[in-house]
Amino acid sequence: MNGPCILGLVLLCGSGLAEENVLMTAVRLGGKTLGTLVQSTNLTGTLSGTGPFTLFAPVDKAFKALNQSVLEKLSGDKELLTRVLSYHVVSGNVTSGQLKNDMVVDTVEGTSKLRTNIYGSKVTVDGANVILPDQFATNGVVHMIDRVLYPLPTQNLLTYVAGTPSLSQLVYAVSMGDLIDFFKGGPFTLFAPTDEAFGRLPPGLLSNLLLNKTALNNVLEYHVILGTVYSAGLSDNQRVQAANNQDLTVKIEGENVIINDAKVTTADVTVTNGVIHIIDTVLLPPSVAAGYS
């Protein structure tokens, strides 16, 4: 039965055939690319084993949306591909109802962990939407997702920011505010303004902030939400409380996510203790902005 089911022949496989393992189920439900990639690694054997496994299976569209250079890199590096695919597999038969907000889950990959979030009725894994949950198979359960979980998060928030050349002003401000230890905690959502964003601040504002740690930290904490809010958790006209206890306003305009008057230029960078959204404007609490208008 495996042959025809892997090929997704509807008549032979039907829906939810009792003999389908997690991989066959994922392939039938729109994960053909995943099936092909898994077969090029030695994970096929694992996933046909008794498990049970939970497979977060990206649909074909998710692979299409990957940067071509990423896809080429994965296809050319079996070891990396195996790691990335194993990162989509969790030991055990974990239903969507068992996932909690900001839950961190071990994977078969072994080093990087997944983060699940619940936003109202949405369930996400590393920010990817679960679009078809709880498809049971002989050896576990499949949740179809709309994104490939790549790259694997290996850096924490600070190491990511410190390693990103366009965020050097932010790194400097965080160190001047003595917030290094704060950012080692989490989980956090960080709206990270680029150096260009800092460059557009009114003259004198940044230098004044750097002289007053209380004022500086108030501004920096206005860029942080306690807990992990991926784009899937943001909606139009939503107000979210920042770590300085003041509210940020979210706008969704077409494809764009706007926080107050800052545009998110790179969304959903997964780090081990949260998520980073890169923004093009520094967020100023109204009282601070008023002093420079």
Ligand X SMILES: *[C@@H]1O[C@H](CO)[C@@H](O)[C@H](O)[C@H]1NC(C)=O
Q: Is 212 in the site for ligand X (CB under 6 A)?
A: yes
* CB of 108 or CB of 167, closer to ligand X: 108
Tell me how far apart the alpha carbons of residues 156 and 162 are, in angstroms, rounded to a whole number: 10
Question: What is the gyration radius of the CA atoms in the chain, in angstroms?
Answer: 22
The residues in 29-88 that bind ligand X, with binding defined as CB under 6 A, are 42, 52, 67, 69, 78-79, 82
Residue 192: how many other CB atoms lie within 10 Å: 24
Least distance from C-beta 79 to ligand X, angstroms? Answer: 5
The residues in 255-274 that bind ligand X, with binding defined as CB under 6 A, are none
Unique residue bearing structure tokens 């990511």:
160
User: Is residue 161 within 8 Å of 167, Cβ to Cβ?
Assistant: yes
* CB of 103 or CB of 235, closer to ligand X: 103
Of 5, 55, 215, 250, which lies in the binding site for ligand X, with binding defined by CB under 6 A? 215
Least distance from C-beta 186 to ligand X, angstroms? Answer: 25
Of 214, 237, 239, 253, which lies in the binding site for ligand X, with binding defined by CB under 6 A? 214
Tell me how far apart the alpha carbons of residues 130 and 62 are, in angstroms, rounded to a whole number: 12
Sign of the C-alpha dihedral computed for residues 140, 146, 151 and 152 taken in this order: negative
Least distance from C-beta 82 to ligand X, angstroms? Answer: 5
* CB of 2 or CB of 98, closer to ligand X: 98
- Name every residue whose Cβ is closer than 8 Å to that of residue 251 and which is 6 or more positions away in sequence: 236, 237, 257, 258
Residue 232: name the closest of 258, 261, 267 by CA. Answer: 267
* CB of 69 or CB of 121, closer to ligand X: 69
Of 30, 58, 140, 285, which lies in the binding site for ligand X, with binding defined by CB under 6 A? 140
Coil/strand/helix, residue 271: strand
Q: Is 164 in the site for ligand X (CB under 6 A)?
A: no
Least distance from C-beta 238 to ligand X, angstroms? Answer: 27
State the number of CA atoms in the 13 A half-sphere of 170 facing the CB: 32
The site for ligand X (CB under 6 A) is made up of 42, 52, 67, 69, 78-79, 82, 93, 95, 136, 139-141, 212, 214-215
